Structures are given as structure tokens and as C-alpha cells.
Chain A
């Protein structure tokens, strides 16, 4: 019965430590009973007969998984949230990498596009692998504790709370929420760069915010944090209510006013520690940045009008 011992040991190797002894003992007993029954029918069993019985039972790994099914790293119901979180974080990292690589490219004298692409790809992959691992492991930790990330949003609900069928806009899509979250997190990272940027990276900057612009941006940070909290509230509710629409309008109005105010509070940019190449001047960048702010202000402005109209429809 050497083959049976080998088979049971192979199954045990695939089992968690705590269950090896018990399952192995029971499996061995069951196989021996089966072989006894076969022996009664066929007489003395050869090694080939025993091997045929064991082969019929299945591969040791398959049998082990039948006893202790492997658990998924992330629960199926958490997959949409995981997917959106990954898109959000990887998106923010990519934009940050584009800014970093572009700044470096502008300040370098040769303006080599191939070097720019390689630097962008290498920097992004480096950050993306780390972020991917951290996010997936966080979801896995929640899953292994027997909880579900998606269940955090599971407040008691009633069909009466659902929006009318013709008001499809009342459902908040996950991609909208995560786009807002990504934008806010990106803004906070950019605004507070003096805190996290190491001196070497800072020395490579050819353009930085002026003290006045930076101060204004930092004073506006609480509103951005408020916007993050609002997005988390939306994630929990997933349906536009009057209170949510009103809060969103207020936050977006604050964004629009702030962006316009900032655009007219120049100068916003100044020459950084590194030398700027002759491709662009600080003045040209300042002008582009100001126009960029005014164009960006249109988005929260549009959302204010949209949400006010929606509020009217909800009345």
C-alpha cells in the first residue's frame, strides 16, 4: 500500500497545515475501504489496480481543493470597486508621471522625445506595480477578514428610495465618483508637493508655483478634502438626493470661483531651481496655465448649473 501512502501524502502537501493530519487520516481510511471492497470482487490487487483506483479519485491537488476549496484573493462582489480604485490610482500616477517627465523634458537642453517616452514609461511602471500590489493586498486583507468592501456601502434600503424610472440621471455611476476622487487626490498631491518631494526632485524643477499661488492653493485644500468626503458619501448612497445635489453644487461653486480667482491672481508660476530650456519661457507657461485654469473652471461651473436644474426637477 505504498502507493496509497504516497497519494495521501501528496494530497496533504496541498492542504493547510491545520487540516493535513485529520483529512489525510480520513482519506486514507476511505481509500483502504474502497480497495478492500475491490479486493472482495477481484481477489488480490496489483499495484496497477491500486494506481487505477487512485487515478480515478483525481489528481492530489484537485482532491485537496475539494476538501478545502481555495479562496479568491478578492471577493467577486468587490471586483467593480477594485477595478475603479485601480483605474483611479493608476490614472493619477500616470498624470503625475507625465507632469514630472514633461518638466524634466522642458528643462533638458536637447528635448529628446525618445528619452522622454522611456522616462515616462519606466517611472510609471515603477509606481504602478507598487500601487497595484498595495491596492490588491488591501482588498485581500478585507476579504480574508470575512468582510466585503462593497458591503460598507450597504445601508438598509427600501424600493421607495429608488429614483423614478424616467430620472435615470439620479443613479450615480461609479466611474463619475472615481473620476472626482482621482481629480481631488491629484490636486492634493500637486498642491502639497513641497511636503513629499525630495530635495533632488525639487532641484530638478524648472518651474514652480509662486508663494502667493501656493498659499492660495493650500488654503483651498479643506474644500478639496470636503469634495473627497462628498465623493465617499456618493459612493455610499449611489443615488442623487436633494441633500447630495445641494452639497455638490456648493462644492462645485467653490471650485469654480476659486479657479477663476486664482487665474486672475497672477503671477502664478516662477522659475524653479533648474534652468529652463529655450523651448518655453516662464511667461508662456504662465499664460497657458491661466487659460488652463479658466477652461477648467467651466467644468465645476457646468456642474453647478446642471445640479441646480436637477434640484428643480426633484421638487
Chain B
């Protein structure tokens, strides 16, 4: 597989998950940079070119409430999960957990298979 194929598939895989991560992070109010920092601290690296437009899109869909505030001598737009966003997050979380519990054994099996190919082959011939 070429690196461009890998990049494309990674992007597709991450696209839906990022929405979930952003919604989950915005249970507490955050402005753009602090949200990015929080996601980075949790191991989700997301570039600003993806994150800021995504947050705006979610706000336009009514999933986030936003408010401009003055802090540290600078204005910042703070985002917080709206009521509609909370409902959607709960539904998406259930969906994700269900998907993950189904996917995890599948991926574990696959990993074991690729780590011990000889053992598995001899097992099959027996």
C-alpha cells in the first residue's frame, strides 16, 4: 500500500471519530486553541485547518452553543455542547461503544494471525 493510500484511508477513518472527540470535549466550554490543546493532550492530534472549520460547522448545525468572551485581554469564542448536541453525543457514544466492542475482537484476532503466521498455518494443516 502506498503512503498516499494510507493517508487517504486514515483521513476517512478519522473523519467521523473526530466529530465524536470534539463533541465529547465540549462538555466543558473551550475556545479554538484550548480545544485543540486538550485533544492533543489526550493523544488526538488534529491540525487547526481541520478543527476550526469542523467546530464552526457543528455550531451551525445547532450542536454547539457559542459565545464571545473577553479573557486575558483578548476576545475568544467559547463553544459548549448544546442540548441537541448532548442528545446526539449520547446516541453517537452508544453507537461507538457498540461498534468498538464488535470490532475489537476482530482486530485482535487479525493481529494475532499476522504475528504468528507459521503457528496458525501448522494448526490449519493438522
Contacts and interface: CB of A to CB of B under 8 A. Distances in A.
* Chain A bound to chain B: yes
Given A32-B74, A33-B76, A34-B33, A26 B56 contact: yes
Interface stretch (A57-65, A104-112, A140-148): A57-65
A68 to B, nearest CB: 8
Contact of A33 (B31, B50, B56): B31
A21 to B, nearest CB: 12
B75 to A, nearest CB: 6
B118 to A, nearest CB: 44
Nearest to B54: A66
A86 B62 CA distance: 41
A23 interface: yes
Given A29-B74, A29-B77, A30-B48, A66 B53 contact: yes
Contacts of A27: 52
Contact of A29 (B32, B49, B50, B56): B32
Ranked nearest first, the 3 interchain pairs of A and B with the lowest CB-CB distance are: A33-B33, A30-B32, A66-B53
B31 A57 contact: no
A25 B52 CA distance: 12
Nearest to A27: B52
A67 B33 contact: no
Given A29-B77, A33-B34, 20 more contacts: A23-B56, A25-B75, A26-B32, A26-B52, A26-B56, A26-B77, A29-B74, A30-B32, A30-B33, A30-B48, A32-B74, A33-B32, A34-B33, A57-B49, A63-B49, A66-B49, A66-B50, A66-B52, A66-B53, A67-B53
Nearest to B68: A25
Decide if the interface of chain A is mainly helix, strand, loop or mixed: helix
Among the interface residues B33, B37, B50, B74, which one has the most CB atoms of the partner chain A within 10 A? B33
Contact of B56 (A32, A58, A62, A67): A67
10 contacts: A26-B52, A26-B77, A29-B31, A30-B31, A30-B33, A32-B74, A34-B33, A34-B48, A66-B50, A66-B52
Decide if the interface of chain B is mainly helix, strand, loop or mixed: helix
Interface residues of B, number: 15
Interface residues of A, number: 16
B67 to A, nearest CB: 12
B57 to A, nearest CB: 9
Interface string A25-46: 1110110111001000000000
A99 B60 CA distance: 56
Contacts of B74: 29, 32-33
A258 B48 CA distance: 70
Contacts of A62: 49
Interface string B15-54: 0000000000000000111100100000000001110110
A23 B32 CA distance: 12
Given A29-B75, A30-B48, A57-B48, A37 B33 contact: yes
B64 to A, nearest CB: 13
A189 B43 CA distance: 68
B76 A67 contact: no
A172 to B, nearest CB: 35
A30 B52 contact: yes
Contacts of B31: 29-30, 33
A63 B52 CA distance: 10
A32 B76 CA distance: 10
Nearest to A26: B77
A45 B48 CA distance: 20
A66 B75 CA distance: 23
A58 B49 contact: yes
